[in-house]
């Protein structure tokens, strides 16, 4: 993207006289954009804020302060509404602030809102705009949004703030940007080949920019052209080696091609450049685990959970990895944390039950399977494992019920028929035991199961 996204301000000079810009400027604090939706990737948010910051710098009667300029930055970082900001700017002697928020209205419909708020809590001006398209397209709305906030001040300050930018410095005048925006829409719609052509055209229009080359690489990766994707991403990195997402994409390409060494190296670089690039941590951990470096995978997720404490998938993956290295206690704790964050996430329950089983805590294992069954009532394996846990708790009657449900959900589930037959035989239900074990014998054709088949036959003969 073109670095400076600044709207052209056509401001009339008062009596043709330009007053000195050395006059006192009004200090104003611009707060980081508050995102109430995760649809805009973290790596794009800094760019969108830069767009807003550059727009405000065009208003030369303002001295624009960001969170880095504030002595109370730590307190401000926690603020997600103007009421939290007001005491902080008042303490710093700043008369007003700009507050911008982003939210999702519905699928492919997003609203970005802005307001200026005084240190007394009064809203001076406000403006909202809606983007019906990809979430990242809100960046095109920023200049107009901010201009709307300060429109009434132009007449008073216009004689000292006339500023013009060359058309080539604006994102909306760039054919490359327009191509990328359209291609993003096509990618979202699954039209990869058409999107690829537009990305490639954008790269030709703006050969000095990294972004169109990175986008080209992503489209080629999506279409399965790994060699072309690697060539495009190397070009992107050559133009901007500080772009964390380009290194992440290179890691994806290398991983897809089976080159784990290059993948690990590229993903490590991505994480170094952007410690909040969650996707890079996930893939880096996967590569490490696939390479036999499970401890490195654990280290990556342990680092990520410090950065992003409220993402249940981090703890689910961490729990699975701890189970893999036979640390059931740590695995259980990680998975319980995931459950506390999102108890509706079904994928956490099987490894959590496994952790309880490894710890010999069969009552909690049974309860965990029961929770999973409430979400997946037709899951044969869930009912079967629930029966196993109930057996360990000495509840053969309840286990029989669970095994029956497993066979109803999947009539070809040999192990469920076997356990059902064993339990029925133990409590004297010979007729159901005989039928269940006979069904098991008919279904069992896996190598290495001969001993179980023999036991089933012996039990039937002795009934």
pLDDT greater than 90 at residue 447: yes
276-297 in b/e burial notation, b at 16+ Cβ within 10 A?
A: ebbbbbbbbbbbbbeeebbebb
> What long-range pairs does 106-115 form, CB within 8 A, spacing at least 24?
108/132, 108/133, 108/134, 110/37, 110/39, 110/135, 110/138, 112/138, 112/141, 112/142, 112/145, 114/145, 114/146, 114/148, 114/149, 115/82, 115/149
Average pLDDT on 142-171 reads: 59
Reference 183, options 205, 167, 165, 162; nearest CA is 205
Taking the C-alpha atoms of residue 127 and residue 27, their distance in angstroms, rounded to an integer, is 21
Angle, helices 211-223 vs 175-188, to 10°: value is 30
Angle at 249 (CA atoms; ends 236, 295), nearest 5 degrees = 135
pTM for the model stands at 0.63
Domain ranges of the chain: 14-170
* Mean pLDDT lowest among 28-32, 139-143, 446-450: 139-143
* pLDDT, tens digit, 9 for 90 and up, residues 101-119: 988 887 778 888 999 999 8
Reference 353, options 309, 403, 387, 378; nearest CA is 387
Task: Write down the pLDDT at residue 18.
Answer: 34
pLDDT greater than 50 at residue 1: no
- What proportion of the chain, given as a percentage, has pLDDT over 90? 57
Q: How many CA atoms lie within 13 A of 304 on its CB side?
A: 27
Task: Write down the pLDDT at residue 157.
Answer: 60
Average pLDDT, the chain: 86
Dig out the tokens for 332 from the structure.
């259980």
pLDDT greater than 50 at residue 7: no
Task: Write down the pLDDT at residue 24.
Answer: 63
DSSP assignment of 388-439 equals HHHHHTT-HHHHHHHHHHHHHH-TT-HHHHHHHHHHHHHTT-HHHHHHHHHH
Whether residue 352 contacts residue 368, with contact meaning beta carbons closer than 8 Å, is answered with yes
Q: Around Cβ 228, how many Cβ atoms within 10 Å?
A: 17
Dig out the tokens for 246 from the structure.
């380009």
- First-to-last CA distance in the chain? 79
Taking the C-alpha atoms of residue 393 and residue 303, their distance in angstroms, rounded to an integer, is 38
- Enumerate residues 6+ apart whose C-beta is below 8 A from 421: 432, 433, 434, 435, 436, 437, 439, 440, 456, 459
* pLDDT, tens digit, 9 for 90 and up, residues 270-291: 999 988 788 999 999 999 999 9
Q: Are strands 62-65 and 34-35 parallel, antiparallel or unpaired?
A: unpaired
* pLDDT, tens digit, 9 for 90 and up, residues 234-254: 999 999 898 889 999 999 999
* pLDDT, tens digit, 9 for 90 and up, residues 367-422: 999 999 999 999 999 999 999 999 999 999 999 999 999 999 999 999 999 999 99
- Burial environment of residue 322 by CB neighbours within 10 A (0 to 12, 13 to 18, 19 or more): buried
Taking the C-alpha atoms of residue 300 and residue 285, their distance in angstroms, rounded to an integer, is 6
Q: Around Cβ 207, how many Cβ atoms within 10 Å?
A: 12
pLDDT greater than 60 at residue 148: yes
Question: 14-170 has which fold?
Answer: Rossmann fold (3.40.50)
Task: Write down the pLDDT at residue 172.
Answer: 32
Average pLDDT on 300-325 reads: 93
């Amino acid at each position: 993207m073109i670095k400076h996204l600044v709207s052209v301000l056509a401001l009339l000079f008062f009596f043709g006289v330009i007053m000195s810009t050395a006059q006192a400027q009004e200090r104003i604090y611009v707060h980081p954009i508050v995102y109430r939706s995760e649809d805009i990737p973290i790596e794009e948010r800094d760019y969108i804020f830069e767009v807003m910051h550059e727009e405000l710098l065009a208003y030369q009667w303002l001295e624009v302060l960001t969170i880095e300029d504030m002595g109370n930055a730590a307190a401000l970082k926690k603020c997600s509404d103007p009421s939290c900001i007001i005491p902080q700017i008042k303490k710093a002697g700043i008369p007003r602030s700009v507050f911008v928020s982003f939210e999702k209205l519905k699928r492919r419909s997003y609203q970005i809102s802005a307001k200026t708020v005084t240190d007394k809590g009064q809203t001076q001006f406000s403006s909202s705009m809606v983007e019906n398209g990809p979430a990242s397209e809100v960046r095109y709305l920023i200049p107009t949004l901010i201009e709307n906030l300060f429109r009434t001040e132009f007449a008073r300050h216009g004689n000292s703030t006339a500023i013009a930018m060359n058309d080539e410095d604006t994102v909306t005048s760039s054919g490359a940007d327009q191509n990328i925006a359209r291609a993003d829409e096509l990618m979202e719609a699954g039209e990869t080949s058409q999107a690829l052509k537009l990305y490639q055209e954008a790269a030709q229009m703006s050969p000095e920019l990294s972004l169109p080359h990175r986008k080209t690489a992503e489209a080629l990766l999506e279409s399965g052209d790994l060699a072309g994707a690697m060539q495009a991403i190397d070009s992107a990195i050559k133009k901007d080696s500080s772009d964390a997402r380009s290194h992440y994409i290179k890691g994806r390409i290398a991983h897809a091609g089976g080159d784990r060494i290059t993948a690990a190296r590229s993903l490590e670089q991505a994480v170094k450049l952007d410690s909040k690039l969650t996707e890079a941590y996930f893939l880096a951990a996967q590569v490490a685990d696939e390479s036999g470096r499970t401890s490195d995978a654990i280290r990556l997720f342990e680092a990520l959970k410090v950065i992003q404490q409220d993402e249940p998938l981090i703890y689910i993956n961490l729990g699975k990895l701890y189970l893999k290295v036979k640390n059931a206690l740590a695995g259980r704790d990680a998975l319980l944390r995931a459950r506390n964050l999102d108890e509706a996430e079904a994928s956490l329950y099987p490894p959590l039950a496994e952790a309880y089983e490894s710890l010999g805590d069969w009552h909690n294992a049974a309860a965990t399977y029961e929770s999973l069954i409430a979400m997946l009532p037709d899951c044969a394996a869930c009912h079967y494992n629930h029966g196993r846990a109930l057996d360990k708790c000495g509840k053969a009657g309840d286990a029989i019920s669970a095994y029956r449900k497993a066979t109803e959900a999947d009539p070809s589930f040999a192990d469920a028929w076997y356990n059902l037959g064993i339990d029925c035989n133990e409590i004297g239900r010979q007729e159901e035991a005989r039928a269940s074990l006979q069904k098991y014998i008919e279904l069992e054709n896996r190598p290495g199961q001969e001993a179980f088949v023999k036991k089933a036959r012996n039990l039937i003969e002795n009934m």
